[in-house]
């Protein structure tokens, strides 16, 4: 009887896991207004998952459009798209196979691994261990709980001193399915601690400044992406009057909130929420930065994918007051990153560089007075998209460290 019960529970658990057999990721190249119209009409007819840009509304002439098409809609999608004459390439032939191939490190190593995609429970345990075993360099603070009650944990890294130091704030994992982002924050913390004393840039930085790191911002969504739906993006809050869950937290900040590149539809992947900071996760982060505004001199948020280094603004095409300096630093950081493996990043303000999007945390931080505000979109450019294999964690993190150190060194030398 117990055996039957166990098999029944396993069957229920498996039934709750979203599968992607036969789904394909297509790259479209709209070069005519008619192509844009076709894509938007198709999105209104069938359920498409926009990988880049993040919604049909953001599709414009001349940009690459990556969409996941569920297997059941493929025949219709191919017919419509091919009849339009639009360039179409299949980037991922079977999404489920790509999901399965992504996890390359089998088994659970005794020590925390920085080259695999760790679960939330593994990351939570790691944070506790890092703070305990490196008490001279790391302290831990819970800045609030998520919608589902999980802690949002910030690690403060820096050489302890008797006075308050200026700081940099960095977060990872705004969007649940961007797993390489979460991996980078873990890599950064470990690299900072283990190279202190041997890496002159890290040593100087942590002697003179502190770095606040939030390894997982959207904890609930990240857990769900591991247990139920690998492609989940948003938070997990309940939207009143609808069966749709979650808000896009990077549309939920008071920076041109919900004016452009965001949706008022609760079922949309770019849903902006009911008001700025309506998501508890957004409010927790904003409250922490507001509380520490006098010392936070840079805000860096890590996303994927597209290989971009962006800065304000995304909610307007107007240039930021510090545009020239922000661009110069971004180009220098991109050059430093490229020096290791030749990975090319594009730098620029969000709106003209990719597409307009209101409510982003980087724009909000800049308008709050955090001058050096940057968004990194990590590897790759679409071959794997959100399903970057674990074999690419190490090189991605190694090169990204060079960009972060470049930005941090500039901030350190140009405190304001």
- Among left, alpha and beta (phi > 0; psi -120 to 50; other), residue 382 is left
For residue 175, give the nearest of 78, 246, 113 by alpha carbon. Answer: 246
How many Å apart are CA 343 and CA 201, to the nearest integer? 22
138: β partners: 157
The full length of the chain comes to 416
Q: How far is CA 177 from the centre of its chain?
A: 8
Task: Write the DSSP symbol of residue 382.
Answer: S
- φ, ψ for residue 29, nearest 5 deg: -125, 85
Residue 380: is the preceding peptide bond cis (ω within 30°)?
A: yes
What does each C-alpha distance from 283 to 245, 286, 403 come to in angstroms? 18, 5, 28
For residue 272, give every residue at least 6 positions away whose Cβ sits within 8 Å of its Cβ, in sequence order, or none.
247, 248, 251, 252, 257, 258, 262, 263, 264, 358, 359
**CB burial class (10 A; 0-12, 13-18, 19+) of residue 229?**
middle
Catalytic residue, from 178, 269, 279, 377: name it: 377
Is 377 labeled as catalytic in the residue annotation?
Answer: yes
Neighbours of 144 (CB within 10 A): 15
At 271 the three-state DSSP class reads: strand
Neighbours of 413 (CB within 10 A): 9
- Whether the Cβ atoms of residue 271 and residue 256 lie closer than 8 Å to each other: no
For residue 157, give the nearest of 207, 113, 216 by alpha carbon. Answer: 207
The rounded radius of gyration (Å) of the Cα atoms in the chain is 21
Which residue's entry shows tokens 């890290």?
202
How many Å apart are CA 133 and CA 135, to the nearest integer? 6
How many Å apart are CA 378 and CA 184, to the nearest integer? 9
Which residue's entry shows tokens 């459009």?
65
Question: Which residues have a catalytic role annotated?
Answer: 377
């Amino acid at each position: 009887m117990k055996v039957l019960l166990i098999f029944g529970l396993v069957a229920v658990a498996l039934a709750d896991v979203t599968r992607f057999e036969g789904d394909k990721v297509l790259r479209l190249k709209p070069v005519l207004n008619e192509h844009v119209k076709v894509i938007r009409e198709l999105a209104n007819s069938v359920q498409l998952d926009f990988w880049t840009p993040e919604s049909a509304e953001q599709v414009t002439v001349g940009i690459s459009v990556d969409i996941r098409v569920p297997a059941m809609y493929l025949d219709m999608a191919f017919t419509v798209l091919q009849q339009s004459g639009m360039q179409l390439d299949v980037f991922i032939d079977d999404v489920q196979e790509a999901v399965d191939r992504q996890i390359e490190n089998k088994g659970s190593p005794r020590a925390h691994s920085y080259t695999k995609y760790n679960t939330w429970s593994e990351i939570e345990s790691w944070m506790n261990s890092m703070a305990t075993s490196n008490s001279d360099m790391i302290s831990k603070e819970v800045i609030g709980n998520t919608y589902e009650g999980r802690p949002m944990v910030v690690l403060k890294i820096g050489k302890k001193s008797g006075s308050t130091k200026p700081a940099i704030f960095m977060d990872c994992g705004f969007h649940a399915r961007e797993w390489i982002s979460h991996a980078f924050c873990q890599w950064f913390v470990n690299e900072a601690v283990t190279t202190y004393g041997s890496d002159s840039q890290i040593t100087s930085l942590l002697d003179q400044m502190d770095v606040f790191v939030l390894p997982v911002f959207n904890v609930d969504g990240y857990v769900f992406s591991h247990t139920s739906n690998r492609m989940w993006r948003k938070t997990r809050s309940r939207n009143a009057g609808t069966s749709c869950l979650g808000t896009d937290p990077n549309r939920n900040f008071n920076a041109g909130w919900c004016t452009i590149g965001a949706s008022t539809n609760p079922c949309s992947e770019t849903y902006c929420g009911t008001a700025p900071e309506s998501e508890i996760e957004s409010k927790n982060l904003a409250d922490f930065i507001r509380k520490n505004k006098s010392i936070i001199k840079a805000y860096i948020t890590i996303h994927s994918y597209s290989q971009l280094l962006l800065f304000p603004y995304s909610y307007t095409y107007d240039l930021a007051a510090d545009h020239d300096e922000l661009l110069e630093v971004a180009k220098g950081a991109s050059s430093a990153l490229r020096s290791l493996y030749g990975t090319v990043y594009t730098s620029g303000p969000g709106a003209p560089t990719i597409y307009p999007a209101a409510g982003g945390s980087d724009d909000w931080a800049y308008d709050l007075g955090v001058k050096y505000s940057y968004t990194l979109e990590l590897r790759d450019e679409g071959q794997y998209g959100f399903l970057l294999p674990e074999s690419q964690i190490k090189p991605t993190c190694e090169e990204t460290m060079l960009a972060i150190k470049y930005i941090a060194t500039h901030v350190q030398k140009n405190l304001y």
